[in-house]
Structure 1
Amino acid sequence: MHKEDCFYLGKIAKKFSYKGEVLAWLDTDDPGYYEDMESVFVEINKHLVPFFIEKSRLHKNDFLRIQFEDVDSEEAADRILGCELYLPLTMLPKLEGDKFYFHEIIGFTAVDERLGDIGIITGINDNSAQPLFEIKKGETEILVPMIDDFIVKIDRPNKQVLLNTPEGLVDLYLS
Structure 2
Amino acid sequence: MKQENYLRVGRIINTHGLKGELKIQVITDSPQERFAPQTRLYLHQPQGSTYLPVEVQKARPQLKFWLVQLNQITDLTTAEKYKNWELMIVQADLPPLSEKQYYYHQILGITVYDQKRGYLGKVQDIMALGPNDVWVVQDQVGSEILIPILPTVLLQVDVQEQTAQVALPAGLIDED
Asked if Structure 1 and Structure 2 have the same fold, meaning a TM-score greater than 0.5 normalized by the shorter chain, the answer is yes
**Partner of residue 68, structure 1:** 71
**Secondary structure of residue in 2 paired with 1:146:** strand
**Partner of residue 113, structure 1:** 115
**Partner of residue 8, structure 1:** 8
**Partner of residue 87, structure 1:** 89
Tell whether the 8 Å contact from 1:107 to 1:120 is kept in structure 2 after alignment: no
**Partner of residue 138, structure 2:** 134
**Partner of residue 100, structure 1:** 102
Residue 12 of structure 1 and its aligned partner are, at CA, apart by 1.4
2:169 is matched by which residue type in structure 1? P
2:119 is matched by which residue type in structure 1? I
User: Which among 38, 42, 45 is matched to residue 43 of structure 1?
Assistant: 45
CA 1:96–1:80: 2 relative to 1, 3 Å: same
Matched ranges for 1:19-58 at <5 A: 19-34=19-34, 35=36, 36-43=38-45, 46-53=48-55, 55-58=57-60
Residue 24 of structure 1 and its aligned partner are, at CA, apart by 2.2
**In the aligned structure 2, how far is the partner of 1:55 from the partner of 1:41?**
15
Residue 50 of structure 1 and its aligned partner are, at CA, apart by 1.0
| CA deviation map 1:26-70 (0-9, x unaligned) | 21221111114123232166233313225123333741422231x
Matched, 1:151 2:162: no
**Secondary structure of residue in 2 paired with 1:104:** helix
Runs of 4+ in 1 over 6 A off after TM superposition: none
Q: TM-score, normalization: structure 1? A: 0.70
1:92 is matched by which residue type in structure 2? L
Tell whether the 8 Å contact from 1:3 to 1:48 is kept in structure 2 after alignment: no
Residue 135 of structure 1 and its aligned partner are, at CA, apart by 5.2
Where in structure 1 are there 5+ consecutive unaligned residues?
none
- Computed over aligned residues only, the root mean square deviation of the Cα atoms, in angstroms, reads 3.4
**Secondary structure of residue in 1 paired with 2:81:** helix
24-33 or 35-44, larger mean C-alpha shift? 35-44
1:151 is matched by which residue type in structure 2? L
Tell whether the 8 Å contact from 1:56 to 1:65 is kept in structure 2 after alignment: yes
**Secondary structure of residue in 2 paired with 1:4:** helix
Residue 131 of structure 1 and its aligned partner are, at CA, apart by 4.4
**In the aligned structure 1, how far is the partner of 2:139 from the partner of 2:5?**
23
Q: Alignment length, in residue pairs? A: 166
**In the aligned structure 1, how far is the partner of 2:39 from the partner of 2:70?**
11
Q: TM-score, normalization: structure 2? A: 0.70
Where in structure 2 are there 5+ consecutive unaligned residues?
none
Tell whether the 8 Å contact from 2:154 to 2:167 is kept in structure 1 after alignment: yes
